[in-house]
Amino acid sequence: MAETKKSVVTSAQGNGTWESKYGTMYKFEISFENGDAGEYNSKSQDQNKFVTGQEVEYTITSREYNGNTFYTIKPAQPVGGYSGGGYKSKADPEKDRRIAKLAVLKSATELVTAKLVDRKDIFACADEMIKWVYDEKVDVVPHKPTANLPDGSTDDLPF
């Protein structure tokens, strides 16, 4: 059973390597001011999770093997579990605008394909749509469609 503790590292000594499915692992014997000691495995030969003289929060787990008790040390995980890695979105208004422009260009292309907008007006149509997406001033009818709707009527869309 893992127990989370906090103490000052008194020793962090390398103790060999071993091969895992993740590559070479480096073993370290870690000792703490409170008397705890155990083995820590790191992917880095220059581990920096347990530095002599620094107070750290860690978990210690015990296991029995052939009548002996062995202890494993790991850095404590933040409340709520692992917090590193994964996808982190960075706001990029220019990228968002480019994505929106692609979407409206596709819509304008579909209007051309449906013969509701003349091919030469495709970019003007897309520009009006992007203005509408970003709540910019849009002319009521910036250009007339060159074709009527299938039912013979025309639309009154602002693009």
How many domains are contained in the chain? 2
| CA nearest neighbour of 158 among 23, 149, 144, 91 | 144
Residues β-bridged to residue 73: 60
Q: What phi and psi values does residue 52 have, to the nearest 5 degrees?
A: -55, 130
Looking at the structure, do residues 145 and 96 belong to the same domain, yes or no? yes
Is 85 within a domain? Answer: no
Q: Do 61 and 116 belong to one domain?
A: no
User: What does the DSSP 8-state code read for residue 126?
Assistant: H
Q: Is 50 helix (H, G, I), strand (E, B) or coil?
A: coil
Q: What is the DSSP pairing of strand 23-32 with strand 55-65?
A: unpaired
- pLDDT score recorded for residue 3: 84
pLDDT tens for each residue of the chain, 159 residues long: 678 999 999 999 999 999 999 899 999 999 999 999 999 999 999 999 999 999 999 999 999 988 999 999 999 887 655 555 566 667 788 888 888 899 999 999 999 899 888 999 999 888 888 888 888 776 655 455 555 566 666 655 554
Is residue 84 situated within a structural domain? Answer: no
Residues 7 and 52 in one domain: yes
Whole-model pTM over 0.85: no
Domain of residue 10, residue span: 2-75
Q: Are residues 105 and 157 part of one domain?
A: yes
